[in-house]
Structure 1
């Protein structure tokens, strides 16, 4: 059944990826009207999240952010499909890195690095970094249930040089990489909500106390990796720019939880400035009312 679904859907995805840009975004607008007005995909979750973190905004302001979010979300997920056929030149034109020289400096030092990312603006097109450096980009991700679509994701990322590893294998594989030749750049999206039984640190995120995902910080401190936040901004429809912001270049000696706290504050600033570009449809605050274990650290 998985193969049948894949064979039925893939030709449609390929066709979308080949559309000229003007038609591509016109198609995205059509999908937005279906998702927002007809299917009302996760409207309740999005509205609740926005009202939760912006208690002082009027409902009209919430509705405006919500609508702009859905427009952006449709663009972003279709841009993931566009990655099936987009050229390297188009990627570099539409996703610019403001301080790529920072990575070139680290290349000369021969230092592996950790990059914390977020569900903000465009995290898929960050693949453009792979084709501008000598680092082997390694992305940590949660495997897709349909193995054929999972392979498609691998194939798309491989076009730009990335390697993917599942979350369950991340600690083992990244540790093993440190004894190998070559340069490695690890990217982890770190604003997920961890499982409660794994939640050892709680911190404010957008003014709400929630468990925080610590995987990137743990790996950085254990392996002594320079650690950065990839701050992605949407400039206009179909165009983004990213900046590497230093979280620490002395991870083994930095204070516990300082990496993730600095990361959250940077992300919060982006959300406050342009909230429509955050992924409000995922349930980031679902554990806000859960009892905090006695052994957990709260800050």
Structure 2
């Protein structure tokens, strides 16, 4: 494991449950594609959408505020499509428990691979993505570029058991998970030698809801004032790293296509918040293109901007 410390320590009962969960996930992951994505996914959809009505009020509010121009019927159709995405994400995530390079290539294809490798030129770089489609598949990048390893920056979960389970899912030969609070130190400590002699791709899911600070910068995003994590921008400017938005486009159930859009070349002189602003604009464009793939159940707008009178 790439992470250590108090948060990762489990007691005996938690370790037992972790192994039980892991073996169940491994068993589920080897089941036939049709069973996972047509039988289990359908059952998950009915459970989340109609039985549990999982965070229905949050989803409704987010869709209403983000798409005021849509009718109630249009938003209802979009909500239903989102619950299909959420159900599929459950399958995609558990499926990571049994992953091989061959399986990864079936699940994910990369558009413009040679062009992107040429632009990167063997350097470290920052991959900024979002809770859009199956973001976990971004870790498969190293299957196509063995000289690089994805450093999956994540926010630790409150439950130690759940956190350990997710780290085990993500900690593979092609990716290593690192807590957000340790990501800068991790990169500075390893940038000379890399990780196992491999160049680093700092993978950041940058659309999460950061704590509100007095100096927080607000962006207009989906018709709402919104704050974003700026760690990717700070790392890019401090270490002169190129930044790319990693797009994940769903092709069919459990199958995605990855592509890249440059945000920052690592050399351009830019003002504060410009890199994050570019990220926000690309993300908003992707959401408007395929809104059902974004995570509408997140309480993304918990904080409101103080408007001075």
How many residues are matched?
291
Superposition RMSD in Å: 2.0
8 Å contact from structure 2 (residues 45, 87) kept in 1: yes
Q: Which residue is equivalent to 2:138?
A: 126
Q: Which residue is equivalent to 1:296?
A: none
Alpha-carbon distance between aligned partners in 2 of 1:252 and 1:121, rounded to the nearest angstrom = 30
Structure 1: gaps of 5 or more residues: 294-299
Alpha-carbon distance between aligned partners in 2 of 1:102 and 1:143, rounded to the nearest angstrom = 34
Moved more, 63-72 or 192-201: 192-201
Q: Which residue is equivalent to 1:86?
A: 99
Asked if 1:28 corresponds to 2:41, the answer is yes
Asked if 1:12 corresponds to 2:24, the answer is yes
2:126 aligned counterpart, secondary structure: strand
Structure 1 moving runs of 4+ over 4 Å: none
Alpha-carbon distance between aligned partners in 2 of 1:151 and 1:232, rounded to the nearest angstrom = 26
Asked if 1:117 corresponds to 2:132, the answer is no
2:171 aligned counterpart, secondary structure: helix
Alpha-carbon distance between aligned partners in 1 of 2:116 and 2:204, rounded to the nearest angstrom = 17
Asked if 1:259 corresponds to 2:275, the answer is yes
Shift of residue 157 of structure 1? 2.5
Q: Which residue is equivalent to 2:262?
A: 246
Please give the TM-score of this superposition, normalised by the length of structure 2. 0.88
Structure 2: gaps of 5 or more residues: 1-12
8 Å contact from structure 1 (residues 199, 212) kept in 2: no
Q: Which residue is equivalent to 1:165?
A: 178
Deviations 1:67-91 (A, max 9, x none): 1101111101221100111332121
Deviations 1:124-165 (A, max 9, x none): 112221111111211110113343443333333333421111
Please give the TM-score of this superposition, normalised by the length of structure 1. 0.90
1:85 aligned counterpart, secondary structure: coil
Q: Which residue is equivalent to 2:217?
A: 201
Alpha-carbon distance between aligned partners in 2 of 1:102 and 1:72, rounded to the nearest angstrom = 30
8 Å contact from structure 2 (residues 140, 174) kept in 1: no
Flag the 1:35–1:127 CA change in 2: closer, same or farther, 3 A: same
